[in-house]
Structure 1
Amino acid sequence: MHAVKPGDTAIELSGVTKQFTTDSGTPYTALRDLDLRVAPGEFCAVVGPTGCGKSTTLTLVSGLERPSAGSVTVHGQRVAGITPGVGFMFQTDAILPWKTVLDNVSAGPRFRGVAKRVALADARDWIRRVGLAGFEDRYPHQLSGGMRKRVALAQNLINEPEILLMDEPFSALDVQTRAKMSGELLSLWDLTRPAVVFVTHDLEEAIALADTVVVLTAGPATTVKARFPIDLPRPRVVQEIRFERRFVDLYHQIWEALRAEVDAAYSQSTSLGEKEAS
């Protein structure tokens, strides 16, 4: 476990540019001169229009991708490969369909060399924490979408990550289940307080969860447009915090910054569609 010092930074992207080569062989700049800092224990939500590079930002922090320019550091160490101490919760389920809930949750500790007896005991504890006690022997296909997301949370949090990357993890859920999962996420996050980068298209979700909301510009060549501190008190009840006057004020402020980027992205996609049709 990294020893946190005053003023420490858990994640820092400095002047990051990321280019890809398209199928036609032409370069595409996804990110340009992007700066982002996340403190230890901070819950940072990232919002922006479709295709603006939000997911790419997560892959750079995790070490799954390398920047074309600039630097990515985790706890002051430059990311040069798969970053240790980082959990990654994807938009689609990443749980193993041939393993039971218990085996899925215990897989991480066992892979790291934890004794089977200890790993299984810890897994049972985390399964209980996410509200799935009694479902240890079920397989993923026997679970609802919300239950599979609980398994994925337990799968990540059992490893006590210092950093948790979340790429629209609840987007496939219905509205009620999504709100319930958001509340459970906050309760579980509060147990170990990892630094979180949570990518979402849902501005209400971002404000309800985060300490900070970062708005990205429309792509290509995405960068940070604005950063908003969320001064809503914790602990929060996600289903109720949305009715607070301060929540509404924050929503209006952030939407003013986000709306122009959403409009720009829509105009770009419309223009591209018209060109392809002509």
Structure 2
Amino acid sequence: MPTQETPDGPAIELRGATKRFRSSSGGVHTAVRDLDLTVDSGEFVAVVGPTGCGKSTTLSLVSGLEPPSGGEVLVHGAPVGGIPEGVGYMFQTDAVLPWRSVLDNVATGPRYRGAGKREARAKAREWVERVGLGGFESYYPHQLSGGMRKRVALAQTLVNEPSILLMDEPFSALDVQTRGLMQDELLRLWSGTGTARGAAVVFVTHDLEEAVVLGDRVVVMTAGPATVKASFDVPLERPRDAEEIRLTPEFLDIYREVWESLREEVQITRERGADRAA
């Protein structure tokens, strides 16, 4: 299956992006402020930052689910004015439909985009196989483990052939062993052949280890309102084994470097929480 064609230039650009929300008390909450971020086609960028700093809001701006209050958000050079073509979004909570089988869950996207039932199911069957769920096509979500449901959610996203993949803590609810397996699965699909290859990925996580294991680059965001504090290239060769790479001196070196930057923002968030509780 050929890789989706994408225009030249960055896949994602945020230029001075700001997002403000009206709070329940009638005030204004600024979630993201003066955010500058560029992600190239084929680049895997992991985003870390303190809890509640605005990481998920950043994904919402790129996906078109939220308009910016200021600044610009561009996807493939075009201002985002709705949900852009070619953007796939994998949420922390999976979006599998409990009344549909694995196969029909994965076929939902192609059907929504106008594919006939036979074509949609053929594409879905291919991706069910790719994510390691061959033989489970007729199962329903309640019959699956948490890791298997995440594989369904991954297939649901990739079957639509995205050129940009937004992932909001997709593996955070999994146990440590299953999370490692899903990290390997994502890397295999992203760096292998087919439509997942070459997609620009923005992967939000609270887990710094996960960020370093997966990313070409780790972006550290400030305590809210979020803006980019620092960006670190990850000099680890690909392909990577999610478990083995954690044991290398190179991994520990980049982990320590990023943590020195992130730790300050985590401490600011903790102090703010203590002040509010006082």
- Fold match (TM-score > 0.5): yes
CA deviation digits over 1:200-234, x for unaligned, max 9?
A: 00000000000010000001x22100000111000
Amino acid at match of 1:235: P
Q: Which amino acid aligns with 2:85?
A: P
What does residue 215 of structure 2 align with?
Answer: 210
Unaligned runs of 5+ in 2: none
Q: Distance in 2 between matches of 1:2 and 1:150?
A: 25
**Counterpart for residue 274 of structure 2:** 270
- 1:261 match: 265
Correspondence for 1:226: 230
Would you say 1:3 and 2:6 are equivalent positions? yes
Secondary structure of the equivalent of 1:242? helix
| In structure 2, C-alpha distance between the alignment counterparts of 1:185 and 1:13, rounded to whole Å | 25
Cα shift at 1:3:
3.3
Aligned to 2:123: 122
Deviation of 1:122 (Å): 1.4
Q: Report deviation, 1:199.
A: 0.2
Identity %: 63
Rounded to whole Å, the distance in 1 between the matches of 2:11 and 2:76 is 5
1:107 counterpart letter in structure 2: T
The count of residues paired between Structure 1 and Structure 2 equals 271
Asked if 1 retains the 8 angstrom alpha-carbon contact of 2:6 and 2:76, the reply is no
Which residue number corresponds to residue 19 of structure 1? 20
Matches within 5 A, 1:62-141: 62-141=63-142
* Distance in 1 (alpha carbons) for counterparts of 2:103 and 2:263: 44
Deviation at 1:4, TM superposition (A): 3.8
AA in 2 matched with 1:225: K
Residue type of the partner of 2:103?
Answer: L
SS at match of 2:33: strand
Root-mean-square deviation over aligned CA pairs: 0.9
- Deviation of residue 121 (structure 1)? 1.3
Following the alignment from structure 1 to structure 2, what is the Cα–Cα distance between the partners of residues 118 and 2?
A: 21
Question: 1:233 is paired with a residue of what secondary structure?
Answer: coil
Amino acid across the alignment from 2:162? P
Deviation of 1:78 after TM superposition, in Å, equals 0.2
Write the distance in 1 (CA, Å) between the matches of 2:82 and 2:126.
31
Hey, what's the Cα distance between the residues in 2 that align with 1:138 and 1:99? 9
Q: Read off the aligned partner of 1:3 and give its amino acid letter.
A: T
Aligned-partner Cα distance in 2 for 1:57–1:17: 9
Cα deviation, 1:20-60, whole Å, max 9, x if unaligned, reads 11100001111110001000010000000001000000000
Residue of structure 2 aligned with 1:238, choices 242, 249, 258: 242
Are the counterparts in 1 of residues 12 and 75 from structure 2 also a CA contact under 8 Å? yes
* Structure 1 runs of 4+ with >4 Å offset: none
Distance in structure 2 (CA, Å) of the matches to 1:223 and 1:2: 31
Q: Which residue is 2:37 aligned to?
A: 36
- The one-character-per-residue Cα deviations of 1:44-102 (angstroms, maximum 9, x if unpaired) are 00000001000000000000001100000000000001122111000011111111000
Q: Decide whether the 8 Å contact of 2:6 with 2:163 is kept in 1.
A: no
Matched with 2:148 is 147
Per the TM alignment, residue 193 of structure 1 is displaced from its structure 2 partner at its CA by: 2.4
Alpha-carbon distance, 1:238 to partner: 0.5
Q: CA deviation at 1:115?
A: 2.3
1:2 Cα deviation from its structure 2 partner: 4.1
Distance 2:69 2:161 in 1: 30
